[in-house]
Structure 1
Amino acid sequence: MQVAALLMILGLTVEIAAFWPGIMTWDAIRQYGQAVTGRYDDWHPPAMNWLWRQLRFFAAGPAPMLILQSLLYWGGSLLLVLATMRRGRRGAAATILLLTLSPIAIVLVATILKDSLFAGALLMAAGLLAVSSVNSGVGSGVGSERGSAPRAELAARWLRVVAAMLLVAAATLRFNAVPACLPLLVALAPAAWRRTLPRLAATSVLAAVPLVLALPLANAALRAERSGVELSLVIYDLGGIGRFSHADVFPPTGAPNPVAINRDCYSPISWDRYAWWGEAPCAIGFATLRAPLMQGHGPYGWWAAALAQHPVAYGLHRLTHFDRNVRFWVRDSDLPGLSLASDPNRWGYTVEPNGVQATIATLATASLATPLGWPACWIALAFGLVVLRPSLGTGGDRTTGAPMLAPALAWSALLYALSYLPLSVASEVRYHFWTMAATGIAAALLLGQRETWAVPRWRRALAVGPVAAILLCSIAARMV
């Protein structure tokens, strides 16, 4: 255990030192500007911007956020490793440790992103759940000291409370956070609440309430201005429907030949040409569509009408974009890479080049061109794990000692990834950071156990078949 802890602390130290004070992308630059002024809009999570403003008490710039993201990521992973080792699962613990050292993950943690903060918070919650389950068993054996069991159980309850608070806080960071947080929050509930299917369903509905309310309540509490961020998805879907139906489904903007303009602007990779920040923004885009979309039945009315008229075009658009989003039937060179340096900003925050940073960046870029960097493969693996161990019901998870931790991680990874099928507007691997991390941990906990495979043959085939097929197809696509 001491060796594992030392390796984690070393990894944390190296990552912070190599990427100090943290990589600032355009998103982070906009967010930090709002953290400085204390005036927020809802384009990026106001809760994160508010938190960043509080962290400025310790130091200005990205460094405090870099430290927070790193502590959550490395700390949560360490708790998982230690809890797994205490259950005698040294092989699984070593695998989790190895996954934590992924160059892709290290670069993402070093980049100030809501996705990195989100993944770190969920990892810490999972680690607290694992440790709480170990602690709740302390003192239950023969010869244990009187009173140790109640104290351990009380500590375990407090750890679960903190984990639940982290999950609700994480739900303020992404509009599609609920599918990721819900399985873990359900796993935190008492076993009696999950004993039967009706109880499990009721617990899931009850747990979903604070998660659904977290983001809008946080935005209201911080008086975040409406930015129209929700229009990005509507505009991208209208553009996709128009592209695949060869029809004009936009509200009137006065632009000549909107079908031809849209054909030139649409990309299955992202909606960026419709935004205002690109080098050549589309003549039909956010700036020109914001007012017209509010006419009639509003933006969702335009969206629903286009979908009703061209459902096949909508389906083709969504599937084509999801293919890019999960890096399935694509060439890696056609897709965005990782952010390895800060974008220009008025404060002059930048990561000074150094040998360690360059080595990690090189390894991360190389890994991105392998199955380790293809979310489609991780999604297929998460699906396979859910097939093998689907239950979120009662009982302990004997693979870790944590109540349903591994199945909860697999469900969280899968549901979160699938939420991007209807909701995504861009194709960056950072969106799947949590899916990749959670799937890897769940696989480490489950696949080495004989009982995991003690299922009917058809379920084993259903679990393994998609993983093999997607892996082989992904490789073939890059060789064509």
Structure 2
Amino acid sequence: MSIEPDSRLTHHHITITAVALCMASLALFWPGTAMYDTVTQYQQVLSGVYDDWHPPAMARVWALLAPLGPGATPMLVLQLVTYWLGLGLIAAALARIGRARSGAAILAIGLLPPFLGWQGVVLKDAQLAGALLAAVGIIGWWRLARRPLPRAMYIPVALLLAYAVLVRANAVFIVVPLIVTLAPRPAHPLAKLVASLVAVVAVLGVAPIVNHQLLRAQPSGVEATQALYDIAGIAARTSDGNTIGLTRQETATVIQRRCAKPFFWDPLGDDANCGTTMARLRALPTATLYLTLASAALHHPIAYAGHRFAHLNSTDRWLVPFHWPSAAPPVASEPNTIGLANPSAGARAWEVLTAMIVETPLGWPIAWIVVAITALAASLSRPRDPIRELATALLVSALALEVSFAALSIASDLRYHLWPMIATAVSVVLLADRAPRRRVLMIGAIALTIVICSGLAARMTLPLPPQSYAGMLG
């Protein structure tokens, strides 16, 4: 039985509203906020020399769009248009099947400051969210109406998903589960899992070829960062340097200088901190470096698990202090001399509001993870229909990315969790036409209460962290 009340809203009203919100967002955030990563990428656009530290696919697209406008504005338009296109298509599709209020709720999700605030910053995470939402919106427009996706739509969907995979190294853990879950074959959950694992490995193998040969990006050594971070994390929890690839002196330095921080890997790349300590390992071939990490993890599984859990807690923002850094979008662009301007006063005010909201559970990925698990249980318990198919695919993609952070993550920025948070919010609205089973709802509510209460307790008792990048480096 539907819990959707009657409404006079139609999908035409929803469409007009989505267009208006897109235009208002562009006006608010124009000409776009530039972070350090943004400045680096734009320098590559201007010079025509690319490397793979930041996604070369984004820089190449930027170069193609550069004639359309100065600075970051073409990319701001791209990420906001795709963002509202995706949300607008999902919202209009719901209105078209008699769920106009749910459609309005989808648009309201797009206005949540932690989501829209980051979408006003020109960077790969916002590009990823926009591309994914646009692809899902196109699929949802037809699937929610119980119609097959027209063959002509395969091309834009494929292009959007391919761009999403290339614009972030870990996006493969989003896109592959999303596609495999939506695909009618294979049908068995175990077969889908196997297909996903095989596809993930294949994409990880092909992506460097695309980046280096097709997009002609120079290798930067970025692939070494995960191994260096984990080896240092193990070293910080054991003094047996001989079994982790470091000398005893290097291990002692890692411990003394506190090189392994749960928050991020950055001290290990900074020569003024710990970069020189890891220089010998950094010079190793990538395969050798990861074999060294595997050996260290096997010799010290508890140290490795402790290091990974500490980082997972940090990036999921669970048992951390108030004002854990890198949650709110910047209020001004990174200082530069290449024409990347500051946003308007309205955008700065919006980001100030965002900074307050991300301190609440709305800005805690761990809370969204609990909601996603609960929503997935509710989705799988309902009869098969287009709503269940789309919501399940969104939730599986969200949780797959979060699971990947247990082993593959080196920083705690909230923006890395934008897709899981947005996908979860959209899924909850999709599933709102049926009341979930009481047991599922109760278990989810209890788990969420425990997470929020323990998170609040940590924030009230732990000392405030440094509020500058240099301070976090130590």
Q: Which interval holds the TM-score relative to the shorter structure?
A: 0.7 to 0.9
Whether 2:215 is the aligned partner of 1:222: answer yes
Q: 1:275 aligns with which of 269, 272, 284?
A: 269
Query: Could you tell me which amino acid in structure 1 is paired with residue 263 of structure 2?
Result: I
Structure 1 segments of 4+ aligned residues over 3 angstroms from their partners? 134-137, 194-214, 246-257, 259-262, 283-289, 459-465
3-state DSSP of counterpart to 1:422? coil
Q: 1:423 aligns with which of 392, 398, 408?
A: 408
Q: Percent identity between the aligned chains?
A: 33
Q: 1:128 aligns with which of 133, 138, 141?
A: 138
Whether 2:449 is the aligned partner of 1:468: answer yes
Alpha-carbon distance, 1:8 to partner: 2.4
1:320-376 Cα deviation digits (max 9, x unpaired): 11111011011132322322211112213122442x223211210111111111111
Distance 1:345 1:84, change over 3 A: same
Contact 2:173–2:400 under 8 Å retained in 1? yes
Contact 1:12–1:74 under 8 Å retained in 2? yes
Partner of 1:328: 318
Query: Could you tell me which amino acid in structure 2 is paired with residue 102 of structure 1?
Result: L
Partner of 1:307: 297
* More off after superposition, 55-64 vs 470-479: 470-479
Alpha-carbon distance, 1:31 to partner: 1.2
3-state DSSP of counterpart to 1:56? helix
Partner of 1:344: 335
- Matched positions, count: 447
Distance 1:90 1:359, change over 3 A: same
Work out the CA distance in 1 between the residues paired with 2:336 and 2:53. 19
Partner of 1:396: 385
Q: 1:238 aligns with which of 231, 234, 240?
A: 231
Whether 2:38 is the aligned partner of 1:43: answer no
Work out the CA distance in 2 between the residues paired with 1:341 and 1:12. 21
Q: 1:23 aligns with which of 22, 30, 33?
A: 33
Partner of 1:115: 125
Query: Could you tell me which amino acid in structure 1 is paired with residue 282 of structure 2?
Result: R
Whether 2:437 is the aligned partner of 1:453: answer yes
Partner of 1:140: none
Work out the CA distance in 2 between the residues paired with 1:9 and 1:52. 23
1:82-136 Cα deviation digits (max 9, x unpaired): 0111111233222211111011112211111111111111111111111122555
Alpha-carbon distance, 1:409 to partner: 0.6
Partner of 1:251: 246
Work out the CA distance in 1 between the residues paired with 2:297 and 2:368. 30
1:300-328 Cα deviation digits (max 9, x unpaired): 12212221221111111110111110110
3-state DSSP of counterpart to 1:80? helix
Partner of 2:466: none
TM-score by length of 1: 0.85
Alpha-carbon distance, 1:243 to partner: 1.1
Alpha-carbon distance, 1:183 to partner: 3.1
Partner of 1:317: 307
Partner of 1:72: 82
Partner of 1:84: 94
1:220-239 Cα deviation digits (max 9, x unpaired): 31222211101111111111
TM-score by length of 2: 0.86
Distance 1:319 1:208, change over 3 A: closer
Contact 2:51–2:217 under 8 Å retained in 1? yes
Contact 2:38–2:123 under 8 Å retained in 1? yes
Work out the CA distance in 2 between the residues paired with 1:229 and 1:346. 26
Work out the CA distance in 1 between the residues paired with 2:372 and 2:314. 19
Work out the CA distance in 2 between the residues paired with 1:203 and 1:304. 25
Alpha-carbon distance, 1:429 to partner: 0.5
Contact 1:181–1:211 under 8 Å retained in 2? no
Whether 2:160 is the aligned partner of 1:166: answer yes
RMSD value, Cα: 2.8
Structure 1 residues not aligned, in runs of 5+: 138-152
1:385-443 Cα deviation digits (max 9, x unpaired): 22222489x9532xx4xx71011111111111121121111111000010110000001
